[in-house]
Amino acid sequence: MKVNDYKIGVELSGYISDMPEDIYHNTEGFISKSSLGQLAKETPFRFFNSKKKEQTPAMAMGTALHCAILEPKKFSESYILMPDCKSKASKEYKEAVKNNLGKEILTGQNCDNLTGMVKAVYANDFVNELLSLEGFNELSGFHVDSETGVKLRHRFDKLCKCGIAVDIKKTQSVNYDEISKTIDKFGYDMQDSLYSDAYKAITGEDLKAFYFVFVEETYPHEVAVVYLDDISKQVGRDRYRDLLNEYCMLVSDMSQVTNNKGASMVSLPEWTLRQYENEIEDGEVY
Within-domain flag for 286:
no
* pLDDT score for 225: 98
Within-domain flag for 266:
yes
CA quadruple 199, 203, 209, 213: dihedral positive or negative?
negative
Q: What is the CATH number of the domain that holds 59?
A: 3.90.320.10
pLDDT digits (tens, 9 = 90+) for 105-152: 999 999 999 999 999 999 999 999 999 999 999 999 999 999 999 999
Within-domain flag for 154:
yes
Within-domain flag for 246:
yes
Full domain range(s) for residue 16: 3-281
pLDDT digits (tens, 9 = 90+) for 188-213: 999 999 999 999 999 999 999 999 99
